[in-house]
Structure 1
Amino acid sequence: MDNELDFSDRTVLVTGSGRNIGRAIILEFAARGANVVINARSNAAEAEEVATRARELGAEALVVLGDASELAVVEEMHRRSVERFGRVDIYVSNAARRLHKDFFATTHEDWHYHLNQQLTSAWYLAKTFVPDMRAAGWGRILHINGNDGIRGDFERIPHSVAKGGLRTLTRSLAAGLGQYGITVNEIYPGFQATRRDPKTHPEVTDDYTARRLSRFPLRRQPTPAELAWAAAFLCAPRSGAITAGSVSLDGGELWIQAR
């Protein structure tokens, strides 16, 4: 029954897809027959490597560089995607930057920048791509959220608030778009096995990782490939009754306190 996850003749756009989770999602859909639109803020080499890999999997691939928190960039992604593929059937709002400062060190500029990165960007994507989905009578929207949006984080307040807002945006869009055949869901990655910038994740040392994993029910980090498979499942035609939903890929960390 795995052919139920065949995305031939569909086009998938993923923001922040030059590495880590976004890259894995692009390659999952590419392997399943989709055309893919790769977006990275500025690293052209990373984005082109993903495009090359997607083409090796048999996909048509387009790269659009730029910051997804800027409306002009989102509109350019739309223009070029439509020009190349006709329309975007599925988009994944994944691009994010994480600030590591406590409340007292966080500036007003930090606040606005990080809310724009993770919440306003999702709004821009919806306003730009949903009209085409409504006209087609079909669409899939995924937001990559985070546990910080549920539990909060004093060292990442703008990030946590943005993720909390993204949860509300997911449900608000789902409430009105289902009638047009469009589903809206979110995935919570948790402490994934990804490359991290030490400037934004200075706390992630080997000791920190070992201590944190000792509390995981799985005793290991989830992987981007596992999350990408869940993304494909949520976007499949037979998943059309799943909307306003949250899928946790955090290894059970948030809701289960392992001893």
Structure 2
Amino acid sequence: MNLMGKVAIVTGGSKGIGAAISKELANAGVKVVVNYNSSQDCAERVVNEILANGGSAIAVKGDVSDLREASVLVEEAIEKYGRLDILVNNAGITRDRTFKKMDENNWRKVIDVNLNSVFNTTSIALQHLIDSGNGRIINISSIIGQAGGFGQTNYSAAKAGLIGFTKSLSLELARTGVTVNAICPGFIETEMLSEVPDNVREQIQGRIPARRFGHAEEIARGVLYLCQDGEYITGQQLNINGGLYM
């Protein structure tokens, strides 16, 4: 699919994997709506970089775990660009605790941002994506949703739920031309990973067959592939993890 002139929303698009996705799509000619919640400076830097490279992008603030704010995000995208072709559900947070120490707030916040937000954005954007004729929904899940993670019952539950959501929605939308896929990154060099203690990072890296952490740009290229060449790929998990989970 020629992506020139297509329009994408990238939730959590201001930093890390989201920023890399925003820039990768823009380089392919996509007009990008960079969603952020609190990182306005980061979002504006991403937009300015896209504009400097001859692309088109806007930054839109919105907490996508709130249905009303997710509605405003989609409305602003349509108002600015008149269409919507790609939705990348990337917004996510962690609140790691062993389950014995997990409180309700840390459970609900992670579920709201990582999983419920995907219902919010997708339900509002869906008809626009169907109208585009060949819409793409790409959900950024995680290796933790596939294999679990110590102290991450909340995050793992949300990311595993995202995989189930992807499979079921892909069945419902297959005849419309809209594909729905999940990307499951392994351990990627982002701000989230930088918070892990050095000794734990070394242990994790030692378990990765590729013997290194991934880069946000590698996830972004996976998104581009599904958007550009994935018309017969739907309901799938694209694992970009250096061989850590097979």
Normalized against structure 1, the TM-score is what? 0.91
1:7-42 CA distances to partner (integer Å, 9 max, x unpaired)? 211011100111100000000011111100001111
2:243 to 235, 239, 252: 252
1:211 to 186, 203, 214: 203
Give 1:128 shift.
Answer: 0.5
Give 1:250 shift.
Answer: 0.8
2:114 corresponds to which residue?
118
SS at 1:196 equivalent: helix
More displaced stretch, 111-120 vs 44-53: 111-120
State the distance in 2 between where 1:240 and 1:13 align: 19
Contact 2:77 2:84 (C-alpha < 8 Å) held by counterparts: yes
State the distance in 2 between where 1:197 and 1:221 align: 9
Partner AA of 2:214 in structure 1:
P
Partner AA of 1:242 in structure 2:
I
SS at 1:186 equivalent: strand
Partner AA of 1:186 in structure 2:
A
Matched, 1:227 2:219: yes
Matched, 1:31 2:23: no
2:80 corresponds to which residue?
84
Contact 2:84 2:132 (C-alpha < 8 Å) held by counterparts: no
* Off by >4 Å, runs of 4+ in structure 1: none
Give 1:118 shift.
Answer: 0.8
For residues 89-100 of structure 1, the aligned pairs below 5 Å read 89-100=85-96
Normalized against structure 2, the TM-score is what? 0.96
1:179 to 153, 171, 175: 175
For residues 144-163 of structure 1, the aligned pairs below 5 Å read 144-163=140-159
Partner AA of 2:39 in structure 1:
N
For residues 53-72 of structure 1, the aligned pairs below 5 Å read 53-72=49-68
Contact 1:100 1:155 (C-alpha < 8 Å) held by counterparts: yes
State the distance in 2 between where 1:211 and 1:110 align: 26
Partner AA of 2:149 in structure 1:
D
Give 1:180 shift.
Answer: 0.6
Contact 2:185 2:219 (C-alpha < 8 Å) held by counterparts: yes
Contact 1:103 1:154 (C-alpha < 8 Å) held by counterparts: no
SS at 2:99 equivalent: coil
State the distance in 1 between where 2:132 and 2:23 align: 25
More displaced stretch, 189-198 vs 210-219: 189-198
Q: How high is the sequence identity, in percent, across the aligned residues?
A: 31
Give 1:154 shift.
Answer: 4.1
Q: CA RMSD in A?
A: 1.4
Partner AA of 1:222 in structure 2:
G
1:242 to 213, 233, 239: 233
State the distance in 2 between where 1:148 and 1:111 align: 16
Partner AA of 1:148 in structure 2:
I
Give 1:197 shift.
Answer: 7.4
State the distance in 2 between where 1:141 and 1:189 align: 16
Gaps (5+ residues) in structure 2? Answer: none
Partner AA of 1:239 in structure 2:
G
Contact 2:12 2:92 (C-alpha < 8 Å) held by counterparts: yes
Give 1:152 shift.
Answer: 2.1
SS at 2:180 equivalent: strand
State the distance in 1 between where 2:198 and 2:107 align: 30
More displaced stretch, 99-108 vs 159-168: 99-108
